[in-house]
Amino acid sequence: MARYLTKRILNMIPLLFIVTLLSFGIMQLAPGGPEYVILSAEADAMSDPQQVEALREKWGLNDPVHIQYFRWVGNMLQGDFGKSYYYRLPVKEVLASALPNTIRLNFFALVLIYAISIPLGVISAVRQYSKTDMIVTATAFAGQAAPSFWVASLLIWGVAMNSGGLIPTNGISTPGITFETYGWLSVLADRAKYMFLPLIVIVFGGLTGLTRYMRSSMLEVLREDYVRTARAKGLAEKVVIYKHALRNAVLPILAVSGGLLSSLVGGSVIIENVFSWPGIGRVAWQAVNNRDYNVSMAVMLLSAVLTMIGYLLVDIAYVWVDPRIKYD
């Protein structure tokens, strides 16, 4: 296990290297070169060629590209992601304040997705071609095809029209409701209230792939010999399904969790935008609109690292759950 872990972590290094090359390369694509992206933040200097030259010198843009690249990577390795022009703060601080919000939202979404999709998939596999199965499958198709921003718009329209302000449609908390003034219960209720709509949209979108996957995995397992054996020796159907079949059918679900995680984080760009949720997706979008390039690159790298860690955790969980898998 330790050797496998070391190998996996060592494997991440070339991947990270390629990701840094990609992010850096994208910046080189900017028309007129990266200097216009960086220098446009100091707009007044743009018209004066002498000042532009001075700035180029100051930012090290006259150095060869590979030196610029290594300087950028070197700074990051020391924890220096540069400065955000839009927020006028170090990039690190901008990300540090946004990241917990994204993680919180997606953590609850992930838990809900698993809690709903696994039983749903099992039921629809056990009662294949029944009415329940049809409804589950149809819902799964719908969730896969419905654009998240459209679902969000419909929800906002419906809820805002009918809930009388009970369920907020944007933001993360009511200003003023804090632990000191109201106690933890009302704080909890307040935060949950704000999370309600974004969670519905994320869960509806994320649920579908997993449910379909769970269904087909369960169908496959139900055809296995050991399930027939379990039935033949007279075990109750419940025991057969939940003890013998489910355990094996859940395993492949773990394998796709990495991809789910990545798509959740990616989808946060839209969700956080629609619901004004101050997370990493919103920061990324604002950075892009304001050509806040240091932030954009840092977000890309960070999200890639997070995804990689997610995949790693999934792999570890896989080995841990399924003793048949042995790595050296």
Partner 1 sequence: MAVAAEQKTDKLYGQAPKETTQFQQIVRRFLRNKAAVVGLIVLLLMYLVAIFAPYLASESLDAMNIPARFTPPSLEHPFGTDNLGRDVLSRMIWGSRVSLSVGFVAMTMAVAIGSLVGAVAGFYGGTWIDILLMRLAEAISIIPVFFLLITVVSVIRPSIFNIMLVIGVTSWPGLAQIVRSQFLSLRQRDFTEASRAMGASDARLIFRHILPNAAGPIIVSATLRIGSAILTESSLSFLGLGTQPPLTSWGQMLSQGRPFLLQAPWVSIFPGLAIFIVVICFNFVGDGLRDALDPKMKR
Among 76, 89, 99, 160, binds partner 1 (CB under 8 A): 160
Give strand ranges (E) for 17-139: 83-84, 89-90
Tell which phi-psi region holds residue 327, choosing left (phi > 0), alpha (psi between -120 and 50) or beta: beta
Place of tokens 């901008």: 94
In sequence order, the 6+-apart residues with CB closer than 8 A to the CB of 288 are 296
Nearer to partner 1, 61 or 235 (CB): 61
Distance CA 327, CA 1 (A): 6
Distance CA 85, CA 295 (A): 9
Interaction pattern, residues 207-236, with partner 1; x per rule: CB under 8 A: --------xx--x-----------------
Q: Is 321 in the site for partner 1 (CB under 8 A)?
A: no
Minimal distance, residue 112 CB to partner 1, in Å:
20
Residue 267 in contact with partner 1, rule: CB under 8 A: yes
Q: Does position 146 bind partner 1 by CB under 8 A?
A: yes
**288 makes contact with partner 1 (CB under 8 A):** yes
Segment interacting with partner 1, rule: CB under 8 A, options 89-97, 139-147, 191-199, 234-242: 139-147
In 3D, which of 92, 81, 106 has the Cα closest to residue 307? 106
96 binds partner 1 (CB under 8 A): no
Smallest distance, Å, CB 140 to partner 1? 10
**Candidate residues 68, 84, 273, 294; the one interacting with partner 1 per rule CB under 8 A:** 273
Q: Does 262 bind partner 1 (CB under 8 A)?
A: yes
Residues 30-59 that bind partner 1 (CB under 8 A): 30-31, 37
Q: Which of 156, 167, 227, 235 binds partner 1 (CB under 8 A)?
A: 156
Q: How many helices (H) and strands (E) does the chain have?
A: 14, 2
Contact (Cβ atoms closer than 8 angstroms) between residue 312 and residue 319: no
Cα(243)–Cα(53) distance, integer angstroms: 71
- Token code pair at residue 102: 């994204």
Task: For residue 313, state whether it binds partner 1 (rule: CB under 8 A).
Answer: no
| Cα separations in angstroms, 272 against 99, 108, 147, 220 | 12, 15, 14, 38
Q: Are 270 and 258 in contact (CB under 8 A)?
A: no
Please report whether residue 134 would count as binding partner 1 according to CB under 8 A.
no
DSSP label at 241?
Answer: I
Tokens found for residue 287: 């950075």
The least distance separating partner 1 from the CB of residue 314, rounded to whole angstroms, comes to 13
Please, what is the minimum distance in Å from the beta carbon of residue 153 to partner 1? Answer: 5
Q: List the one residue from 14, 64, 164, 234 that touches partner 1 (CB under 8 A).
A: 14
Distance CA 101, CA 155 (A): 21
Least distance between partner 1 and beta carbon 73 (Å): 15
For binding to partner 1 (CB under 8 A), which residues are involved?
Answer: 14-15, 18-19, 22-23, 26-27, 29-31, 37, 141-142, 144-150, 153-154, 156-157, 160-161, 215-216, 219, 262-263, 265-267, 269-270, 273, 281, 284-285, 288-289, 291, 296-297, 299-300, 303-304, 307-308, 311
